[in-house]
Amino acid sequence: MQRPADVTLKDVLVPLSMVAHPDRFGGRKHQDCLFGDLVLRDGVSVGMQEGGGQRDARRLVMPKLVESHVHLDKCHSISRMQNVGGDLRAAINAQAKDRALWTTKDLRARATRGLRELIESGCRVVRSHVDWTHGAEVFSPPLAWHVLGELAQENRGRITLQACPLTSIEDLADLNVAQNMAGLVAGTSGVLGAFVLDQPNRRQGIMNAFLVAKDYGIALDFHVDEGLAHDLDGLELIADAAIETGFAGPVLCGHACSLANLEGEGLRRMTDKIACAGLTIAALPATNLYLQGRADGTPDRRGITRMRELRAADVPVVVGTDNVRDAFCPLGRHDPCQSLAMAALSAHLDPPFGDYLDMITTTAEQALGLAPTYVDGAAIGDLLLFDATSTSETLSGTTRPQPLSDVLRGETT
Ligand SMILES: [Zn+2]
């Protein structure tokens, strides 16, 4: 096998937050980045040299992105729907009607478009939820499960696709169902998901999810408290179950909109419990901004979880794209940078933006049960290059990232 050439990439920025050991990495501090010439040896990024310092930074290197929460079975279906709009219930109903059109060909075309967008946006890992069957059919995977399984195989090497069944927590209240699903995912993606809102038997369903996840050694991923009602308790029930069962994780909890109802001591108590339970929270701003806080006029509640307070309490937080051009969110594209930019605006995450890149890279990887990838020690194939002079520019959509390996094919030192 041919040995990869040693390469020095001149005048680049690397966000400090994307370096595991900045003290040993080299380079000169420039805002929230390190600046210098990036040294790649034997196909691996090993550090920076300060260079002549005569030129300005033109490009930025960081790890490829991780999309922690999308729905490739639903995406890009909005154009054929009529009279859509409204709250979460309205979206669920509209999407249920659309399901009649979910043939193999249709699912393949839409999910392939979603995967293409993810790859073009610089992603190397994505978790997609897959709406599950109910009633007597609950033991049989839906068509979308098979289609995404095929696409995962076909795109291996370009992107890792984790498919996660999205059941109703009501279904998991039946231990037989929970065991069957855990057995199914233990042999495939290794993650079991459920939708938790106000179902009467949610407590039992949550407990069963933890019991079977522990038995089978799989991860958990909940859609939880996707609403602003004051009596939603799913997140707290999940935290209690995680603590009671001593589950080692990972557990990713998407939405958690109703955390916005808490403040002061009550909020502190909850964020401490979430941290103690080892949960990661996924903020999903696009769908929440569109569906939450609906009234007759302009919305005055944002529906975004308490990103700032959670991070201050050392709870890992990630940002996901969630729905793209479907009944739940009629606009958008699959792009973690765009989603992080939206989170920054909607949750008032102030610059420097390097501080938040972990939510679409290293922390997101850990939330999906994977080891985090930092620039130091990363293989060339795991790195991206942006034509950007700051972390703000990487999130502004003015430039598309390129895989560093593609750039280097035409690059000399
Ligand atoms: Zn979702």
Q: Within this chain, do residues 125 and 261 fall inside the same structural domain, yes or no?
A: yes
CA atoms of 387 and 400, how far apart (whole Å)? 8
Please give the distance, rounded to the nearest whole angstrom, from the Cα atom of residue 362 to the centre of ligand 1: 20
Residue 1 has pLDDT above 50, yes or no: no
The DSSP-derived string for 48-73 is EE-----S---EEEEEPEEEEEE-TT
Most distant CA atoms of the chain, gap in Å = 69
Q: Within this chain, do residues 310 and 339 fall inside the same structural domain, yes or no?
A: yes
Helix (H) or strand (E) segment spanning residue 46: strand 44-49
Say if residues 342 and 331 touch (Cβ distance below 8 Å). no
| Beta-carbon count within 10 A of 190 CB | 17
Please give the distance, rounded to the nearest whole angstrom, from the Cα atom of residue 3 to the centre of ligand 1: 43
Q: Within this chain, do residues 139 and 122 fall inside the same structural domain, yes or no?
A: yes
Q: Within this chain, do residues 112 and 221 fall inside the same structural domain, yes or no?
A: yes
- CATH number of 198's domain: 3.20.20.140
Q: Within this chain, do residues 42 and 108 fall inside the same structural domain, yes or no?
A: no
More confident residue, 337 or 7: 337
Class of residue 230 by CB neighbours under 10 A (exposed 0-12, middle 13-18, buried 19+): exposed
Please give the distance, rounded to the nearest whole angstrom, from the Cα atom of residue 284 to the centre of ligand 1: 8
Q: Within this chain, do residues 21 and 70 fall inside the same structural domain, yes or no?
A: no
Average pLDDT over residues 48-64: 84
Please give the distance, rounded to the nearest whole angstrom, from the Cα atom of residue 324 to the centre of ligand 1: 10
Please give the distance, rounded to the nearest whole angstrom, from the Cα atom of residue 167 to the centre of ligand 1: 12
CA atoms of 74 and 107, how far apart (whole Å)? 8
Q: Within this chain, do residues 112 and 18 fall inside the same structural domain, yes or no?
A: no
Say if residues 324 and 290 touch (Cβ distance below 8 Å). no
Residue 49 has pLDDT above 70, yes or no: yes
- The single-letter DSSP state of residue 17 is G
Question: Per the structure, how many domains does the chain have?
Answer: 2
Say if residues 69 and 320 touch (Cβ distance below 8 Å). yes
Q: For 69-83, 132-146, 147-161, 216-230, which range has the lowest pLDDT when averaged over its residues?
A: 132-146
Please give the distance, rounded to the nearest whole angstrom, from the Cα atom of residue 159 to the centre of ligand 1: 20
More confident residue, 313 or 302: 313
Average pLDDT over residues 5-29: 94
How confident is the prediction for the chain on average, in pLDDT?
Answer: 94
Average pLDDT over residues 186-212: 96
pLDDT at site 57: 81
Q: Within this chain, do residues 238 and 210 fall inside the same structural domain, yes or no?
A: yes
Please give the distance, rounded to the nearest whole angstrom, from the Cα atom of residue 349 to the centre of ligand 1: 22
pLDDT at site 412: 44
CA atoms of 353 and 361, how far apart (whole Å)? 13
Please give the distance, rounded to the nearest whole angstrom, from the Cα atom of residue 5 to the centre of ligand 1: 42
| Residue 256, in any domain of the structure | yes
- CATH number of 399's domain: 2.30.40
Residue 52 has pLDDT above 90, yes or no: no
Q: Within this chain, do residues 340 and 403 fall inside the same structural domain, yes or no?
A: no
Please give the distance, rounded to the nearest whole angstrom, from the Cα atom of residue 138 to the centre of ligand 1: 20
Tokens 């040995």, residue located: 3
Please give the distance, rounded to the nearest whole angstrom, from the Cα atom of residue 328 to the centre of ligand 1: 9
| Residue 1, in any domain of the structure | no
Q: Give whole-number Cα distances, 331 to 18, 310, 348, in Å.
A: 30, 28, 22
Beta bridge partners of 282: 254, 318
Q: Within this chain, do residues 283 and 147 fall inside the same structural domain, yes or no?
A: yes
What's the pLDDT tens digit per position in 353-371? Answer: 999 999 999 999 999 999 9
Q: Give whole-number Cα distances, 81 to 111, 287, 319, 322, 328, in Å.
A: 17, 17, 27, 19, 12
Q: Within this chain, do residues 119 and 176 fall inside the same structural domain, yes or no?
A: yes
pLDDT at site 413: 45
Counting Cα atoms < 13 Å in the Cβ hemisphere of 239 gives 20
Average pLDDT over residues 283-288: 93
pLDDT at site 70: 98
| Residue closest to 251 by CA, chosen among 109, 373, 104, 368 | 368
pLDDT at site 186: 95
Average pLDDT over residues 386-409: 93
The DSSP-derived string for 348-398 is T-PSPGGGGGGGGTHHHHHHTT-----STT-BGGGEEEE--SSHHHHTTTS
Please give the distance, rounded to the nearest whole angstrom, from the Cα atom of residue 70 to the centre of ligand 1: 6
Please give the distance, rounded to the nearest whole angstrom, from the Cα atom of residue 197 to the centre of ligand 1: 13
Q: What is the distance, to the nearest Å, from the Cα of residue 237 to the centroid of all Cα atoms in its chain?
A: 22
Please give the distance, rounded to the nearest whole angstrom, from the Cα atom of residue 321 to the centre of ligand 1: 8
Please give the distance, rounded to the nearest whole angstrom, from the Cα atom of residue 4 to the centre of ligand 1: 40
Residue 191 has pLDDT above 70, yes or no: yes
Tell me the pLDDT band of 298, cut-offs 50, 70 and 90. confident
Q: For 9-23, 207-221, 287-301, 356-370, which range has the lowest pLDDT when averaged over its residues?
A: 287-301
Tell me the pLDDT band of 411, cut-offs 50, 70 and 90. low
What's the pLDDT tens digit per position in 217-261? Answer: 999 999 999 999 999 999 999 999 999 999 998 999 999 999 999
CA atoms of 306 and 256, how far apart (whole Å)? 8
CA atoms of 187 and 228, how far apart (whole Å)? 36
Please give the distance, rounded to the nearest whole angstrom, from the Cα atom of residue 231 to the centre of ligand 1: 21
Q: Within this chain, do residues 48 and 70 fall inside the same structural domain, yes or no?
A: no
CA atoms of 3 and 335, how far apart (whole Å)? 33
Please give the distance, rounded to the nearest whole angstrom, from the Cα atom of residue 223 to the centre of ligand 1: 6
Please give the distance, rounded to the nearest whole angstrom, from the Cα atom of residue 68 to the centre of ligand 1: 10
pLDDT at site 4: 58
Domain that residue 22 falls in: 7-63+373-408
Please give the distance, rounded to the nearest whole angstrom, from the Cα atom of residue 288 to the centre of ligand 1: 10
Q: What angle do CA 280, 284, 288 make, to 5 degrees?
A: 135
CA atoms of 32 and 34, how far apart (whole Å)? 7
| Residue 413, in any domain of the structure | no
Residue 384 has pLDDT above 80, yes or no: yes
Please give the distance, rounded to the nearest whole angstrom, from the Cα atom of residue 344 to the centre of ligand 1: 19
Please give the distance, rounded to the nearest whole angstrom, from the Cα atom of residue 72 to the centre of ligand 1: 10
pLDDT at site 3: 52
Please give the distance, rounded to the nearest whole angstrom, from the Cα atom of residue 256 to the centre of ligand 1: 11
Q: How far apart are the first and last CA of the chain?
A: 22
Please give the distance, rounded to the nearest whole angstrom, from the Cα atom of residue 221 to the centre of ligand 1: 10
Tell me the pLDDT band of 2, cut-offs 50, 70 and 90. very low
| Residue 307, in any domain of the structure | yes
